[in-house]
Structure 1
Amino acid sequence: MGHIIFLASISTGIEPRSFKVAMKDEGWREAMHTEIQALEANETWNMVALPEGKQALGSRWIYKEEYNSDGSVEWLKARLVVFGNHQVGDIDYSETFASVAKMVTVRAFLAVAAVKNWEFIRWIKSLYGLKQAPRCWFSKLVSALKWYGFHQSYYDYSLFTLTNDAIQINVLIYVDDLIISGNDSAALVAFKHYLGTCFHMKNLGVLKYFLDIEVARSHKDIFLCQRKYALDIIFEGGLLGAKPASFPLEQNHHIAQSTSPFLVDVKRYRRLIRRLIYLSFTRPDLSFSVHIYLSLCIHLAKITGVSRSSPMRLHCDSQSALHLAHNPVFHERTKHIEVDCHFLRDALVDGTISMSHVSISDQLVDIFTKVLGKRQFEFLLSKLGISNLHAPT
């Protein structure tokens, strides 16, 4: 029940969007005071005269709530961020870079922790908006990690791994956020101490909220959910009072052509599209119709795994495609795919993959490409390992 209480609690949190609103709350005033003290302690700025003909960059406050595992607010985070978007390239800065982990790496990172029952924690380092700040931070962090013995992944440069006898520690970097996971508590404590001596960082404890993804862990499973993120999208669109649907789209429904004029300002539309696409991180079933909200989550179970001793199995609902894959003799009309078919044939012969027929009603990929009826949609949804934590038990 703990993870359900957590998800329900954070859905009620409202973060201020402006300095004026934040100043009305004593908690946010204290958070801003703490941030100013930290900036001064780290000698983040010096008071100097503005050069002639130059204009100072502005700044704004960003407010975020951090949560305990029971959903209560652990602390209020206020960050003063410089308007780096006002900097001029090749004048105010030259090279820029921000370490952004691939989302598939994030999911794999958490899946490994779930399968191996590793503990994981989150650390954060403040960045202040300048274009060159993330690049400088990442460069220093990489040097510190490599000195400690970590190796940088060639598949995702934001992933670092350390293996020392039976000890293994993984670190994933997303700009100024770090997720640390490992199989040895004492080794993790030592590594956290090392980071603390290298950088002014804050240990946020057990990972609960990361990149607008709620992470809830029971004694045997990990649940990833974006309920609060989805509610924010609906709130921003003014649709909190809308009636939810039990499945994305009605079959045979044809969207009418719009006769309204083009949008004058497309920024809000583009922001909505980006946010809906990101929602599919925990809701892959909504890839085909991401505009419908359902409060489900993706479930990472310990039993997740792939056997290296057996071939990868491909299921296909097309008998013709199966015959082509197994038959080295090609029809005249299939010459344009001959190279791909030879590649597939070789994989079949050496046992890398095996192919078998699957009924059209059991074809899982249809949930990503077609409008399905309620019964078929819910059946395939269960096959994806997606569950509704808020459904009555």
Structure 2
Amino acid sequence: MNFEYDALIRNNTWQLMPLPADREAIGSKWVFWVKYKPDGSLDKYKAWLIAQGFHQRPGVDYKETFSPIVKPNYDPQPKGYEQGDSSMVCKLTKAFYGLKQAPRAWYTKLMGVLQALGFSPTRSDSSLLTHFFPTSTIFILIYVDDIIIIGSSQSKINSVISQLDSQFFLNHMGALHYFLGIQVTRSAEGCIFLNQGKYVQDVLVKVGMADCKSCATPVPSTLKLSATNSPSFDDPSLYRTVVDILQYLTVTRLEIAYCVNKVCQFMHAPTKEHCDSDWGSDPDDRKSTSGMCVFLGNNFISWTSKKQSLVARFSTEAEYRSLVLAVVELIWLKESVGRASGLVAKRP
């Protein structure tokens, strides 16, 4: 709590003043979280001061949710950190967690600082920024307030971190090893490996399958699932939760993409049966399933299994639709990988 409070004070988030007669304090609360290491051991306890943005009134506390201009909001002093007269409130000069304007305000501030440092977002992904120096390149990937910085020069990376720390209260985590449920390991040769081992274990514990046995093929490719051939599942909420979790697991697990795509099609009404291009595979609507994967050298970098939006009248049409899906992905990857690395493929 002290770390979070000190960061808010350092960033001049508010000013103490009496509450105006025509305004109401929106309120805030402390939210606590236990963070674990990739091996499951305790890492640290975290605390956030979260504004109760659901109390904000349109036209009074804000005009447009995504407006970069934050109207004055008033918040009671954080519990446990009251100073002076308890009737004094915090007039917010900056947005923080919970406010309706916070996402836009944070994005505007962060992008302004990064662009002043010479970074520019890629056209294919606004959360990926690059900075090309004469002898090196730095990449920054942003997910809300979590940032990955990589590059070919450690001195340049250190310089960027130092400049960001002068603008924000950074918590430098060192070399990347765990990010959004994905473990990152490095070999002696410098290769990077991504896996979601801890994420998988957490899922198995959540659904009571920690002692289950593995299988080489999650589901036969010839399986035809239907929305009406089996009794309803007892806990639809659990089904949807597990399927959402499995969707994120496909980030590193190519082999389950097909079966996850299948079970995703029945989230509206799951039954007990539900716990290359495939023509007319759905017995309910006869829609086909597209599948594709992309290599960069010898490495998989993208894959997907997706149900087609229209009914294909013959297998060739289904194949062409799959080809279109692959071409769209290749164009995006060309922009992301090619321009981010400074290499743009020539037209054939």
Smaller-chain TM-score range?
0.5 to 0.7
Counterpart in 2 of 1:132?
Answer: 101
The 5-angstrom pairing of residues 159-178 of structure 1 reads: 159-178=128-147
Label 1:276 to 1:138 Cα distance change in 2 as closer, same or farther (>3 A).
Answer: same
Amino acid of the residue matched to residue 184 of structure 2?
V
Residue 214 in structure 1 maps to residue 183 in structure 2: yes
Instruction: Map Cα deviations across residues 43-65 of structure 1 (whole Å, 9 max, x no partner).
Output: 44556548679573453524142
Alpha carbons 2:30, 2:47 under 8 Å: kept: no
Amino acid of the residue matched to residue 181 of structure 2?
D
Counterpart in 2 of 1:109?
Answer: none
**Distance in 1, Cα, partners of 2:238 & 2:130:** 39
Alignment partner of 2:194 out of 203, 224, 248: 224
Residue 260 in structure 1 maps to residue 229 in structure 2: no
**Larger relative contact order (C-alpha < 8 A, sep ≥ 6)?**
1
Label 1:144 to 1:40 Cα distance change in 2 as closer, same or farther (>3 A).
Answer: closer
Counterpart in 1 of 2:5?
Answer: 36
**Distance in 1, Cα, partners of 2:241 & 2:20:** 36
The 5-angstrom pairing of residues 89-108 of structure 1 reads: 92-93=61-62, 94-96=64-66
Label 1:53 to 1:139 Cα distance change in 2 as closer, same or farther (>3 A).
Answer: closer
Alpha carbons 1:222, 1:301 under 8 Å: kept: no
Counterpart in 1 of 2:29?
Answer: 59
Counterpart in 2 of 1:330?
Answer: none
Label 1:240 to 1:71 Cα distance change in 2 as closer, same or farther (>3 A).
Answer: closer
**Distance in 2, Cα, partners of 1:86 & 1:247:** 50
Counterpart in 1 of 2:252?
Answer: 282
Counterpart in 2 of 1:243?
Answer: 213
Alignment partner of 1:78 out of 47, 50, 54: 47
Q: TM-score normalized by structure 2?
A: 0.58
Residue 141 in structure 1 maps to residue 113 in structure 2: no
Counterpart in 2 of 1:273?
Answer: 243
Alpha carbons 2:26, 2:56 under 8 Å: kept: no
The 5-angstrom pairing of residues 339-354 of structure 1 reads: none
**Distance in 2, Cα, partners of 1:95 & 1:204:** 32
Instruction: Map Cα deviations across residues 247-298 of structure 1 (whole Å, 9 max, x no partner).
Output: 30246556583323786xx554433322211110011221112389xxxxxx
Instruction: Using the aligned pairs only, state the percent identity.
Output: 31
Counterpart in 2 of 1:14?
Answer: none
**Distance in 2, Cα, partners of 1:190 & 1:278:** 34
**Distance in 1, Cα, partners of 2:296 & 2:170:** 31
Alpha carbons 2:53, 2:99 under 8 Å: kept: yes
Alignment partner of 2:120 out of 151, 162, 187: 151
**Distance in 2, Cα, partners of 1:234 & 1:196:** 39
Question: How large is the RMSD of aligned CA atoms in angstroms?
Answer: 4.2
**Distance in 1, Cα, partners of 2:131 & 2:36:** 28
SS at structure 2 position matched to 1:245 = coil
SS at structure 2 position matched to 1:138 = helix
Query: Structure 2: any 5+ residue segments left out of the alignment?
Result: 69-94, 264-273, 275-294, 302-315, 328-345
Amino acid of the residue matched to residue 185 of structure 1?
Q
**Distance in 1, Cα, partners of 2:250 & 2:241:** 15
**Distance in 2, Cα, partners of 1:262 & 1:77:** 36
SS at structure 1 position matched to 2:184 = strand
